[in-house]
Structure 1
């Protein structure tokens, strides 16, 4: 590895930061096992995959998620990306939420995989279900219930869902009632994407590659107030071809270094470029790189952005980039990191290299102390927006900038 990305890896090694230098590809990699099949529709929901504790045998998960675009032929993607052994799921259902773990009567239906009720996902791979006939509305709480008879070892999922889902012992996936779903979880297990076939064949999606702000930290749990949720609602009434939204934020994530989730560079293919119907990548990451005191410079971070841009363009996707927001008052803020942020934002605003720019820094910052988030948008930690700030971010995105073709 040469150039600026190689320098990032050498810096991280000296500082004992766990950077997956050998995992950052020099060019876009080919499909990983179980990658999206042709004609699989448009992603309506997604969550960045990460290692999620240990799998347990005879466990059932009733996972609640919120759709963006509506359509027919629902498919789900199961992930064993971080597993060290095959994962078997012997019963998988999808329905619509009524309240809590209870489903709307008649909505819960079995999903199959190549015609079979059971699927075994190899370690490191994903698997798509067969299309489920019927329509799924936009902006509805979909519930995916799954049972694993013998799970063990590292589990794959999404740790910070900002959504209550439900747990059971034994296989209760076919039940519409809530009686046996007595446990709760704030994570999504083994599920990382859902797609539908929208009525209009021209409909596409945007995948948002981000960190805890995109993941929705400090937004209100169970109310779908992450900024990509607000964006999905805007797009639903905007009349543009981009209607699907895949929220690929992971709390603590960095562009350059593995740690809280694999780095944006490392997970780009799996979490973003493989998602069905994605037309545009929205890149909003960098604050965790520059506030971590690892010696990452503006040039290093810009090199990472350019690598994402190059690989996304090679895959035929447009790239919209957002400026890095203010965070003075956060415990890790210092003048050195602030100087890097300003340099990075200057590049984003003026380089002309991206297909479009959204100025989240300008949206969030105080007009009096520009290094700080506006108090009205501050949840209190001086980094993460509250619900009003999340909505302001979504409102600052030009829907037309996402409706892009290459």
Structure 2
């Protein structure tokens, strides 16, 4: 059946479409997968806790073992870190108003202890926008232990980020931690602190930097 007032119905259709798009944008949430082993893992995580809306993977890097016969020598990647903070930057694709972070212990043979974590809009030279700095939690807790060979998904964090912006992810490693899961071509600089937890600091003095992705 066709209506005799197409102009009127077209206006209604356009208004409904615009409203649906606004609703979709309000609910859009993003995943930063800082070393997810496979697309199926992303899909599985996307289904978890997605009650508040659809989760979109906005950045990802595939992990690899720190050393193996078919990989180059891990120049610039330390063997272990202890009581140090790692701050890494991801240039995202799509934006959103909430973020979850996936970290990986895919090639670890021991549990990975993360003592604290945070996300923020990245600034220059490892600094972040203090006003956007938010703590990460896992199951409501400020720390988490990741089993060997597994990834971990953070709780949602309310953080508004524009498309193509840069998000900083910081984690504190309180115990001696072998860097077993890495992504070689990180492109952007990662910052490693001296002794201490600096996840809630807008800036810290880097003890070293590297171009590879960790976890």
- Same fold by TM-score, threshold 0.5 exceeded? yes
Whether the 8 Å CA contact 1:84–1:154 is kept in 2: the answer is no
**1:99 counterpart residue number:** 124
Instruction: Pick from 168, 171, 175 the counterpart of residue 197 of structure 2.
Output: 171
Within 1, Cα distance between the matches of 2:177 and 2:106? 14
Using structure 2 for the length normalisation, give the TM-score: 0.68
Within 1, Cα distance between the matches of 2:176 and 2:55? 30
CA-to-aligned-CA distance 1:317-342 (integer Å, 9 cap, x gap): xxxxxxxxxxxxxxxxxxxxxxxxxx
**1:44 counterpart residue number:** 58
Q: Which runs of 5 or more residues in structure 2 are unaligned?
A: 1-37, 67-76
Within 1, Cα distance between the matches of 2:173 and 2:114? 5
Using structure 1 for the length normalisation, give the TM-score: 0.37
Pairing of 1:4-403 with structure 2 (within 5 A): 35-38=44-47, 39=50, 41-52=55-66, 54-169=79-194, 170-178=196-204, 180-190=205-215
CA-to-aligned-CA distance 1:187-213 (integer Å, 9 cap, x gap): 1111xxxxxxxxxxxxxxxxxxxxxxx
Whether the 8 Å CA contact 2:82–2:177 is kept in 1: the answer is yes
Within 1, Cα distance between the matches of 2:55 and 2:214? 23
RMSD across aligned positions (CA): 2.1
CA, structure 1 residues 57+119, in 2 after alignment: closer, same or farther (shift >3 Å)?
A: same
**1:303 counterpart residue number:** none
Within 1, Cα distance between the matches of 2:44 and 2:111? 17
Within 2, Cα distance between the matches of 1:152 and 1:142? 24
Q: Which runs of 5 or more residues in structure 1 are unaligned?
A: 1-28, 191-406
Shift of 1:152: 3.0
Answer 1 or 2: higher relative contact order, Cα 8 Å, separation at least 6: 2
CA, structure 1 residues 183+154, in 2 after alignment: closer, same or farther (shift >3 Å)?
A: closer
Relative to its length, the structure with more strand (as a share) is: 2
Aligned residues: 159
Shift of 1:57: 1.6
Within 2, Cα distance between the matches of 1:154 and 1:136? 29
Shift of 1:154: 4.8
Shift of 1:182: 3.9
Relative to its length, the structure with more helix (as a share) is: 1
Shift of 1:37: 4.6
